[in-house]
């Protein structure tokens, strides 16, 4: 791979950090930086956390976690500890710390697992369990299904080892189980990639925890199965639903990208919740990409080089 000069990386960072650019362009710049990686890209992402868009900051944290670069830990710890940041941003910072998986984050995750914001506390609990699980299960001791993720994402938990849809659904919907175990069932169902498993996952959109429902929506977006559309639409249309869940449902519909998805997303481009409105804008751009001959979604490097 040809090294990308820091000047080009910084040019992409300027797109990301420019509040006058459309959100869809800033998202493409962000995912381009995530794909490039390295210190300069991390710095460009890190300095955007003073933005006024909770959606964008949430995605910044997600991308930092997906890099699994320990150099991102200080900025993520700062975001998690900043109670002025929106709950969905702090939650994503905690999840990103878990995704990086370094044992140095255990203390801060334990501290904020008692946070008064339930979504933050629950995320810290899951992230802490992932870090501890990784210590007990190093790469050379992976469980049989640990390599079964076909989506190239760093998940909040490893999958379960069961392949029984009915058994996994029972765990998924069992409120007496820890969220860590329920997430493990969730990712096992996703990895099966069948309609039966997708419908089992969709039932999770009725779960009690908003954090849990939001993760279900994210996973349904990864699957891109049309059978999940009615469930995602129902949650997006529900004005009483947590905005974090509605936002994830919108982005999942953008990934599925049917004509029905596009029609519904257009209906919510002026939603009173900013994070939902912006999610629909980004989701429509993703839908357009999914239905186009474009080679890649994260294309800002090409655009910067052409300008």
Residue 161: which H helix or E strand, with range?
none
79: number of CA atoms within 13 Å, CB side? Answer: 34
293 three-class SS: coil
| 214 assigned ligand-binding residue | yes
For the chain, the straight-line distance linking the first and the last C-alpha, in angstroms and rounded, comes to 22
Burial class (CB in 10 A: 0-12, 13-18, 19+), 295: exposed
Q: Are 195 and 162 in contact (CB under 8 A)?
A: no
Burial class (CB in 10 A: 0-12, 13-18, 19+), 10: middle
| 281 assigned ligand-binding residue | no
| 92 assigned ligand-binding residue | yes
Instruction: Look up residue 135 and give its two tokens.
Output: 């210590």
DSSP string, 227-293: GGHHHHHHHHH-TTS-HHHHHHHHHHHHHH--HHHHHHHHHTTT-SSHHHHHHHHHHHHHHHHHTS-
- Cα Rg of the chain (Å, integer): 18
| 241 assigned ligand-binding residue | no
Residues 6+ apart with CB under 8 A from 266: 280, 284
How far is it, in rounded angstroms, from Cα 251 to Cα 102?
Answer: 29
| 91 assigned ligand-binding residue | yes
* Cα separations in angstroms, 244 against 50, 123, 240: 19, 13, 11
Residue 16: which H helix or E strand, with range?
helix 6-17
* Residue whose C-alpha is closest to residue 8's, from 301, 303, 306: 301
| 106 assigned ligand-binding residue | no
Residues tagged in the binding site annotation: 58-59, 91-92, 214-215, 247-248
Residues tagged in the binding site annotation for Fe cation: 58-59, 91-92, 214-215, 247-248
């Amino acid at each position: 791979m040809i090294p990308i000069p820091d000047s080009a990386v910084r040019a992409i960072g300027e797109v990301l950090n420019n509040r006058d650019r459309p959100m869809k362009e800033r998202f493409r710049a962000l995912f381009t930086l995530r794909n490039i990686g390295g210190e300069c890209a991390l710095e460009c992402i890190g300095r955007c956390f003073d933005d006024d868009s909770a959606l964008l900051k949430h995605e910044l944290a997600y991308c930092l976690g997906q890099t699994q670069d320990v150099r991102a830990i200080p900025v993520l710890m700062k975001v998690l500890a900043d109670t002025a940041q929106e709950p969905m941003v702090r939650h994503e910072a905690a999840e990103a710390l878990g995704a990086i998986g370094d044992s140095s984050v255990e203390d801060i995750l334990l501290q904020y697992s008692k946070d008064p914001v339930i979504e933050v506390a629950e995320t810290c609990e899951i992230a802490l369990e992932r870090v501890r699980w990784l210590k007990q299960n190093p790469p050379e001791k992976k469980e049989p299904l640990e390599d079964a993720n076909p989506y190239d994402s760093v998940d909040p938990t490893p999958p379960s080892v069961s392949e029984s849809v009915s058994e996994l659904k029972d765990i998924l919907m069992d409120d007496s189980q820890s969220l860590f175990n329920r997430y493990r069932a969730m990712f096992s169902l996703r990895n099966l990639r069948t309609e039966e498993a997708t419908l089992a996952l969709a039932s999770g959109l009725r779960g009690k925890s908003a954090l849990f429902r939001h993760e279900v929506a994210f996973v349904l977006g990864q699957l891109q199965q049309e059978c999940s559309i009615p469930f995602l639409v129902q949650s997006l249309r529900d004005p009483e639903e947590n905005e974090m869940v509605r936002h994830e449902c919108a982005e999942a519909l953008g990934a599925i990208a049917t004509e029905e998805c596009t029609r519904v997303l257009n209906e919510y481009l002026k939603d009173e919740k900013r994070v939902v409105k912006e999610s629909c804008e980004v989701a429509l751009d993703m839908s357009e990409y999914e239905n186009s001959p474009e080679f890649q979604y994260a294309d800002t490097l090409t655009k910067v080089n052409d300008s």
